[in-house]
Amino acid sequence: MARRNNRNRLLVPDSRAGMSAFRTEVLRREGYAVDPSRPNDAKYEVAQSIGVPLERGYNGGLDTEAAGRVGGAIGGLMVRELVKLAQQQLAEQRR
């Protein structure tokens, strides 16, 4: 199987800071403690809350499924929030 080389590549490269701020806000609303200067550290708290043994540093023993559950939990929250925002904008346009 061919490897995908689009890891963390955003369609609009200059949107990285905005996406990071958005992720921080979404996770805060869900009750996670997120330091805005280190937003990627929230993944450890998310991992702990869903029972994934993600540690700082090397995680070579962590299987793909477990790692995906952490990313999926964070991404899922972000997608839900994006859908809500889009629905709100559509509702406002119809008025």
Tell me: the pLDDT tens digits for 23-42? 999 999 999 988 888 888 88
Per-residue pLDDT tens digits for 48-91: 999 999 999 899 999 999 999 999 999 999 999 999 999 999 99
pLDDT of the residue at 7: 64
Its pTM surpasses 0.95: no
Asked if residue 42 belongs to a domain, the reply is yes
Asked if residue 55 belongs to a domain, the reply is yes
Report d(CA 34, CA 25) in Å as an integer.
8
User: What is the domain range of residue 77?
Assistant: 16-94
How many domains does the chain fold into?
1
Asked if residue 6 belongs to a domain, the reply is no
Report d(CA 55, CA 48) in Å as an integer.
9
Report d(CA 53, CA 57) in Å as an integer.
12
Dmax over CA atoms of the chain, in Å, equals: 53
Helices 16-29 and 64-94: crossing angle in degrees, nearest 10, is 90
Asked if residue 32 belongs to a domain, the reply is yes
Asked if residue 8 belongs to a domain, the reply is no
